[in-house]
Amino acid sequence: MLNNRTLAQDFWKYGYIHLPGFFDSDLMRLYNNKILSHFGMDPQYIHSDAFIEQSGTDVIPWFPQKDGETCFDAVNNHQDFVSLTQEILGDGWYEQYCMVMFSKKDTLGQAWHQDCVCDNPQHFNLNRLIYTMDISADTTGGQITLIPGSHLSGIIPSHSQAFDEDAAISLSPKKGDLVMMHGHCYHKVEKVIGEYRVSTNYRSAAAQTPENITDIAVYRNMIYEFSTSTALRYR
């Protein structure tokens, strides 16, 4: 049985938690089949070439619930998933959106970044990442690399500033695993070497957090606004 209080304490200390085998394998298989049916093996990019080059982000998003794929609602209604989120975020938390992130073979993954600005420590998104496939350094690439505790360190350093990558750890989640990660946590996704790499993010946020909190992401070389496809500032 999960000890949500202990898990929440770990989350606030380290900025993430990794729970193996959290979801049913049959549900993950259904999701993975839906995802591959939507994307195929050679989907077209949504972001501009300039954004991909500047951000070092080779990821193609899909919002399945917005396309009427109601089977993805099962995770939203998963009792342990909801209760753990409640323990971390507290009363009044809300769901933002479900976003599938697909990467092709031999693509970059994602460079170091934060998912939202950290001007206000109380305003952040909670990444609730579920894995419908095994991630392996040897066969797929695409591990998630992060710096524990960095959600408490303010804005991610620019390329001209000291940055201790030796403090980073890499996670290789398996099918059915759950990773919860603070939006201010410094993280990246490693290069993809397998046929594809996919994860699905059920983003949520605490009460009083602006609904557009993830519209602006922070990279080491720029601060980027997705709604206007604009680099607000180069670093």
Compute the distance between CA of residue 46 and CA of residue 136 in angstroms, rounded to an integer: 26
Written as six digits, the tokens of 43 are: 């989907």
Give, for all 235 residues of the chain, the pLDDT tens digit: 789 999 999 999 999 999 999 999 999 999 999 999 999 877 765 555 665 555 556 788 999 999 999 999 999 999 999 999 999 999 999 999 999 999 999 988 899 999 999 999 999 999 999 999 999 999 999 999 999 999 999 999 999 999 999 999 999 999 999 999 999 999 999 999 999 999 999 999 999 999 999 999 999 999 999 999 889 999 9
Written as six digits, the tokens of 208 are: 């009083």
Q: Tokens 């304490």 sit at which residue?
A: 9
All domains of the chain, ordered by start, with CATH? 4-234 (2.60.120.620)
Q: Is the pTM of this model over 0.85?
A: yes
Beta strands in the chain (DSSP E): 16-19, 60-62, 94-104, 110-114, 125-130, 144-146, 169-171, 178-182, 187-189, 196-205, 216-219, 222-225, 230-234
